[in-house]
Amino acid sequence: MDISNKKLNLVLSGGGVKGIAFLGALEVSQKRGYDFENIAGVSAGALVGACVAAGYKADELKKIMDEFDFAKMDTKNIPKKVPVVAEFLEFSRKYGMYGLRSVEHFLRERSETYRFTETDRDGDFTGYRGDVLKSIVKFSKEGYFLDGDYLEEWVYKVLAKKGIRTFGDLRGKYADAINPRGYSIRMTAVDANRGKMVILPDDVFFYGINPDALEVAKAVRMSTSVPFAFKPVVMKKKEGKTEKTYHLVDGGVFDSFPFWLIDSSKFRDTVGFRLVDSSKKLINLGSPLTVLKYIISAVHDIGIPKIDKKLEHVALIETSKISFLDFNLSEAEKQYLYSAGKMPAQLLFDKLENRIPPGMLWRLRPYMGPYIRPYMRRFYTGPYIGPYIGPFGPFFRGSGRR
């Protein structure tokens, strides 16, 4: 791979408020001299990716995020605002069911009581995925605790400062078979009524909208509309004398890491930053917010596309100390997320910039013996390369044969 021109494509995962960790990773990218061409993201990744595509640097984004008024994201009175929480608690206590399976049984049961009208339904809704989608539409009509207006308005103002309003302002990057119109940022949402992944802005043709005319802030809102927490974005489409309604929600419902939105070629490789949580936490039924988080987690990554290839260069960012809906973050918690993104990004770029394949040094060893051995030991036992060579470590530390 040729990275001499420091141009890469970028994929950013979902993760709610934990997306602050992306800023640490972007700071490392910036210091290493990298620029990003085509960007793909979902949910938090869509928001940060849109800002990067608009031209924001890491330090600017950090300042902007510090100015975001998280107090506007009111999480009080959840059982009253979000009926799905109260109904799930009642269901769990009635049947004595807890854990992930209890959420699945709950959504299946509630979906059986809801039927799409002819103007609501436009897809196949068999199986668990169909149950989830029907429940999303059902409960979104009954209540949610955030409508998304403040977030959309805030994103609009942030992008407008860089002269970006619609996706037409973000064209001109490398066009290919996957991104034929050459948008510098694309993101995903899920149409709960059609049961389909929606690529933004390309797929808004279906709703009678020119992709170039779609406001980026509106697309970010679609991609970040976490089911049961945020109000879905409602799209209407006239077909003859009828008007169909479609509810668009967070693309992470189907896939929280849409690397398939970018064509990784030999001319420009792709790196990804993915937020992960390796902890295993038990559900606390005494906390409505925790119950809501648990339900939301159960309805994500339920329809990942069948893709044969995998993204090679991915930095996994551990963010287990923070939940994706923890909006009232302290300065220490923000710093934790910011710092969490740095080390994985550093390791990723160290690996990416390793010009001499380890196998090459191995083949040279018999011929250069005493001349290269000290440098090989230093190279293979260093803090970045050592962990990757596994069983060969002892050999280069002097315990192998001479």
Q: Which string of DSSP letters, residue by residue, matches 376-393? A: HHHHHTSTTTGGGSGGGH
Give me the pLDDT at residue 378, please: 53
Rounded Cα distance, 180 and 73, in Å? 37
Give me the pLDDT at residue 11, please: 97
Amino acid at 175: A
CB atoms near residue 98 (< 10 Å): 14
Categorize the per-residue pLDDT at 128 as very low, low, confident or very high, splitting at 50, 70 and 90: low
Q: Which residues pair with 242 in a beta bridge?
A: 239
**Which residues contact residue 30 at a Cβ distance below 8 angstroms, ignoring those fewer than 6 apart?**
57, 58
Give me the pLDDT at residue 3, please: 53
Give me the pLDDT at residue 66, please: 82
Give me the pLDDT at residue 355, please: 47
Task: Spell out a b/e string for 40-75, using b for 16 or more CB atoms within 10 Å of the CB, else e.
Answer: bbbbbbbbbbbbbbbebebeebbebbeebeeeebeb
Rounded average pLDDT over 121-133: 62
Q: Which residues pair with 9 in a beta bridge?
A: 270
Across 98-107, 123-132, 325-334, 388-397, least confident range: 388-397
pLDDT surpasses 80 at 158? yes
Amino acid at 82: V
Give me the pLDDT at residue 142, please: 76
Rounded Cα distance, 200 and 324, in Å? 23
Give me the pLDDT at residue 291, please: 78
Amino acid at 117: T
**More confident call, 153 vs 141:** 153
Give me the pLDDT at residue 323, please: 83
**More confident call, 278 vs 319:** 319
Q: Which residues pair with 246 in a beta bridge?
A: 235
pLDDT surpasses 90 at 170? yes
Phi/psi-derived region of residue 35, left when phi > 0, alpha when psi is between -120 and 50, beta in every other case: beta
Give me the pLDDT at residue 233, please: 93
Phi, psi of 145 (to 5 degrees): -105, -5
Give me the pLDDT at residue 294, please: 76
Residues in the chain: 402
Torsion of CA 182, 227, 316, 37, to 10 degrees: 10
The helix (run of H) or strand (run of E) holding residue 371 is helix 358-380
